[in-house]
Amino acid sequence: MVPSFRPGDNLPEGISQIVSSVFPKSRVQSLRILEGGKTNTNVLVQIENYDDLFVLRYHLRGREVCRKEVSLLQALQDVLPVPELINADITGDKSGTTYLLYRYVRGQTFREIRDGGSSRDMADAACAIGRSMSVLENFQASSLGHSGLLPRFEIHKGDFDSPVLRERLGVDDWLLLHRLHSEWSPVLQNLSNDGSLIHGDFNHRNIVLRNPRGTWEVAGVLDWELASTGSFLWDAARFMCYERADSKWWEHDFVEGLRTNSASIPDNWSDLSLTLNTLSAARSLANRSIPKQFIQELTVLVRSGLRGKRIG
């Protein structure tokens, strides 16, 4: 049973009006703000006389981000399990705010499976995620990229020239970072030239799975607002960014799942994934305006990566 409560003052205004415009003969029964949503607000909506639940997703970053996610949900319907889009207001003209409404994806996130599942559950679920994710290698996002919705994901030497990054890392680690980028520069260039789709936030909470017949399968990949073009290997690395106590139960199966449909997983994947996560974290750390609560974690992640280690 999904917990819920009556709408309160802490919820975005206008939810009932939006839902009534989509389901004119029904009324909102309950609402609940979902966890996460650092750059948006996601509200679980239960509508009277409907068995399905819905998610009303407010895009706080504005209309272009909302347009991107709507376009991707439409383009990926027959490619990858993604939420079913019900309605959207990309411009905000109809409702005064940009939003999309999609059918709630029932199941368990991979994080929940890791927290409460067996080692067999973790391995099977991770393999299913790898198989689904590898499909993105052959999904060319060039049409969306040409429309300006999807930027190319690239990391350049200049991304690490920021004085704030030098201050946060210290001179010695800052120089090590530049050396690491130079060593991997040819590989990074090849990745940026790839025209595949990158999710951009492929973490354990954004993948929902179900086990209807004794085998785990991906039911939905959520939150596409950070999508870009490049190589799906950035997403694969992001999924393995942290070393957990349970990593030994599922990481091998995740990589094997990736290799089911992909020929791009290199033999040096362990080194490459660590490098990608280190450089990506460093680029985020170079941003002076990142929230303070992320600075320490990113700093530790970069410093550990420069020494060939992951953090837990």
Co-location of 200 and 61 in the same domain: no
Average pLDDT over residues 37-56: 86
> CA quadruple 118, 124, 126, 132: dihedral positive or negative?
negative
Indicate whether 220 and 291 sit together in one domain.
Answer: yes
91 and 135 in a single domain? The answer is: no
> For 170-210, what is each residue's pLDDT tens digit?
999 999 999 999 999 999 999 988 888 999 999 999 999 99
CB 92 within 8 A of CB 195: no
Does some domain include residue 8?
no
Do 297 and 249 share a structural domain? yes
Q: Is residue 224 part of a domain?
A: yes
Write b or e for each residue in 25-50: b if 16 or more Cβ atoms lie within 10 A of its Cβ, otherwise e.
eeebebbbeeeeeeebbbbbbbbeee
73 and 127 housed in the same domain: no
Question: Residue range 103-123: average pLDDT?
Answer: 96
CB 90 within 8 A of CB 64: no
With CA atoms as reference, report the closest residue to 178 among 49, 306, 26, 61: 306
Residues 98, 119: one domain? no
Ramachandran quadrant class, 148 (left: phi over 0; alpha: psi -120 to 50; beta: rest): left
How far is residue 150's CA from residue 141's CA, in Å, rounded to a whole number? 8
pLDDT tens digits along 15-26: 777 888 888 888
Claim to verify: residue 39 and residue 92 sit in the same structural domain = yes
pLDDT band at 8 (very low <50, low <70, confident <90, very high): very low
Closest-CA residue to 253 (of 127, 119, 114): 127
Q: Which of 103, 118, 135 is the last residue of a domain?
A: 103
Boundary (domain end) residue, out of 78, 103, 128: 103
Among 68, 103, 138, residue at a domain's last position: 103
Give the pTM.
Answer: 0.89
Q: Is pLDDT of 6 > 70?
A: no
What domain range is 132 assigned to? 108-306
pLDDT at 308 over 90: yes
Q: Longest C-alpha distance within the chain, in Å?
A: 65
DSSP bridge pairs for 196? 140, 230
Q: Is residue 173 part of a domain?
A: yes
Rounded to whole angstroms, how far apart are CA atoms 16 and 31?
10
State the average pLDDT over residues 97-108.
Answer: 94
Which pLDDT score, from 0 to 100, does residue 38 have?
A: 63
> How sure is the predictor about 118, in pLDDT bands with cuts at 50, 70 and 90?
very high
| Mean pLDDT comparison of 64-68, 75-79, 187-191, 207-211, highest-scoring range | 207-211
Contact criterion met (CB below 8 Å) for 22 and 95: no
In a domain, 311, yes or no: no
The residue whose two tokens read 């789709």 is: 197
User: pLDDT digit string (tens) for 131-168?
Assistant: 999 888 888 776 676 667 888 899 999 999 999 999 99
In this structure, are 92 and 156 located in the same domain?
Answer: no
Same domain? For 98 and 25 the reply is: yes
Determine, yes or no, domain membership for 207: yes
- The pLDDT assigned to 245 comes to 93
Among 94-98, 125-129, 223-227, the range of highest mean pLDDT: 125-129
Taking only the tens place, the pLDDT of each residue in 218-240 is 999 999 999 999 999 999 999 99
pLDDT in tens, 273-302: 999 999 999 999 999 999 899 999 999 999
Phi, psi (degrees; rounded to nearest 5) at 212: -75, -25
- Residue 5 belongs to some domain of the structure: no
Tell me, yes or no, whether 95 and 152 share the same domain: no
Rounded Cα distance, 189 and 77, in Å: 30
Residues near 290 by beta carbon (within 8 Å), at least 6 away in sequence: 284, 298
**Does pLDDT of 1 surpass 60?**
no
User: Is residue 5 over pLDDT 60?
Assistant: no
| 109 vs 203: CA distance, rounded Å | 10
DSSP 176-214: HHHHHHHHHHHHHHHHHH--EEE-S---TTSEEEE-TTS
- The answer to whether residue 6 is domain-embedded is no
pLDDT of residue 143: 65
> Which pLDDT does position 9 carry in this prediction?
39
Do 151 and 247 reside in the same domain of the chain? yes
Cβ atoms of 286 and 159 within 8 Å: the answer is yes
* The total number of structural domains that make up the chain: 2
Residues 196 and 267 in one domain: yes
CATH number, domain containing residue 82:
3.30.200.20
| Domain-located, residue 132 | yes
